[in-house]
């Protein structure tokens, strides 16, 4: 692991955080970091991104986050020495032109409205904070951003609540992390959500609110999923 590429601020990382950064670097593709709040998801992702960049000056990074956290990400980029202020673009209005020569921070809402400017071919890494925002495949948020995330080489999904209540809510995120494995929502819910047709009044509907084959799903997720509880660290 080329730890020397990290700014000196990262010397204060805990051992478990170094292990997670190393795993992001070794997986070298797409990872979901589902740590509890307070375990350092932001710092871990920035360290991982720096190592993935591997000294390249043309490495392009897009950070998508809820609007109330955009300023926090700009502050964290500077705090950890990842970017100088002049190398960060915080997108605030749709009239702006996204400059991918900088590290770009943008809200989910603006990313959806400016999707024509977000070309996965021009991107190396996308970090999605609070990635459970993408859990509903029927929303404009997923319809617009899902294809971009699937086609981008490196993706880091960050959320303390990867699935708020049911395995059904994991499908969109897993289809980003393992696009060849998870392609069909119906088959996924049938296999892992005990999906089946039931009658709701006189209407026949697909019920996927359950859970099934949990051990198998857990095994598949081990390749792309990092999870730590605050009480354990």
Which residues of the chain carry a pLDDT beneath 70? 28, 163-164
Alpha helices in 28-170 (DSSP H): 41-53, 70-79, 108-113, 140-151
- Residue 183 pLDDT: 93
CA distance 162 to 211: 15
Burial class (CB in 10 A: 0-12, 13-18, 19+), 84: exposed
CA distance 49 to 73: 14
Nearest Cα residue to 128 out of 55, 192, 45: 45
Read off φ and ψ for residue 197, nearest 5 degrees: -80, 135
- Residue 170 pLDDT: 92
- Residue 166 pLDDT: 85
Model confidence over 42-83: pLDDT tens digits? 999 999 999 999 888 899 999 999 999 999 999 999 999 999
- Residue 163 pLDDT: 65
- Residue 162 pLDDT: 73
């Amino acid at each position: 692991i080329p730890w020397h590429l990290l700014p000196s601020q990262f010397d204060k990382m805990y051992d478990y955080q170094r292990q997670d950064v190393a795993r992001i670097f070794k997986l070298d593709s797409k990872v979901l970091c589902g740590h509890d709040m307070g375990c350092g998801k932001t710092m871990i992702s920035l360290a991982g991104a720096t190592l993935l960049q591997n000294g390249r000056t043309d490495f392009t990074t897009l950070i998508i986050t809820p609007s109330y956290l955009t300023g926090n990400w700009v502050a964290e980029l500077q705090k950890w020495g990842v970017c100088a202020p002049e190398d960060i673009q915080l997108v605030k209005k749709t009239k702006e032109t996204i400059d991918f020569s900088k590290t770009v921070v943008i809200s989910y809402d603006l990313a959806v409205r400016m999707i024509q400017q977000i070309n996965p071919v021009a991107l190396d890494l996308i970090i999605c904070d609070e990635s459970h925002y993408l859990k509903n495949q029927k929303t404009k948020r997923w319809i617009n951003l899902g294809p971009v995330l699937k086609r981008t080489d490196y993706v880091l999904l960050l959320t303390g609540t990867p699935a708020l209540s049911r395995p059904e809510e994991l499908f969109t995120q897993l289809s980003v992390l393992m696009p060849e494995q998870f392609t069909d929502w119906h088959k996924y819910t049938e296999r892992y959500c005990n999906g089946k047709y039931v009658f709701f009044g006189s209407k026949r509907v697909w019920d996927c609110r359950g859970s099934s084959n949990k051990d198998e799903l857990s095994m598949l997720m081990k390749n792309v999923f990092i999870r730590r509880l605050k009480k354990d660290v």
